[in-house]
Chain A
């Protein structure tokens, strides 16, 4: 069965600093990978996704992620964080792209931004 691990439960960075959130997955086939962001009391918003092709994917809000098959990782990065980036970030792996997009989520990483 597929699984997703986000090793860091809570990360604090200073505004303007770079950010990397880690995500490791376990999946037998080529994974469909996603990063979602959840602001307090809100739903989830898709930041970016990887299905195939270029292993470096660009998303919204200046985020990017790199798929590394050899490391089973899909880490999220941003060169310079803003105070508005404070939120919970979830990595997910999906099984199947046609129809049933059943996602398995990691436990999330809470990002705090210091002014």
Chain B
């Protein structure tokens, strides 16, 4: 019974390149969340998606960041023209459908982005 799967686990990019982080939710989960953890800090909410819909993107930077959760395939967090300040651990979490949601998020092991 696979949990939340994230890849790559580690990603190194040079300034100006693009980073794509992927997340496959737990089986049966249709809600996906992305969080960012800067060094020595707690996790900060970025975006909440359901299949083909962005529900809440209040934590997403206005520029260079985008997220999607297509009908088929994993959720993608995309960072264009990366800068050093984007270096962080990006965590994906998932939860079950509305109505059966116990409020618990199930987290993946994170993707650690390093920008040189």
Contact = CB atoms under 8 A, between A and B. Distances in A.
Contacts of B108: 43
Contacts of A97: 101-103
Interface centre among A44, A46, A90, A108 (most CB of B within 10 A): A44
B1 interface: no
A51 interface: yes
A34 B33 CA distance: 16
Interface centre among B33, B98, B103 (most CB of A within 10 A): B103
A63 to B, nearest CB: 15
A42 B43 contact: no
B77 to A, nearest CB: 15
Interface magnitude class on chain A? 20 to 34
Contacts of B69: none
Interface string B89-100: 001010100110
B52 interface: no
A103 B91 CA distance: 13
A100 interface: yes
Given A97-B101, A101-B95, A101-B101, A43 B55 contact: no
Interface string A73-115: 0000000000000000010001001111111111110000000
A35 to B, nearest CB: 12
Nearest to A108: B42
Nearest to B4: A43
Contact of B105 (A98, A103, A104, A106): A103
A106 B98 CA distance: 26
Contacts of B41: 107-108
Interface of A: 4, 32, 34, 36, 41-46, 49, 51, 90, 94, 97-108
Interface of B: 4, 31, 33, 35, 41-45, 48, 55-56, 91, 93, 95, 98-99, 101-110
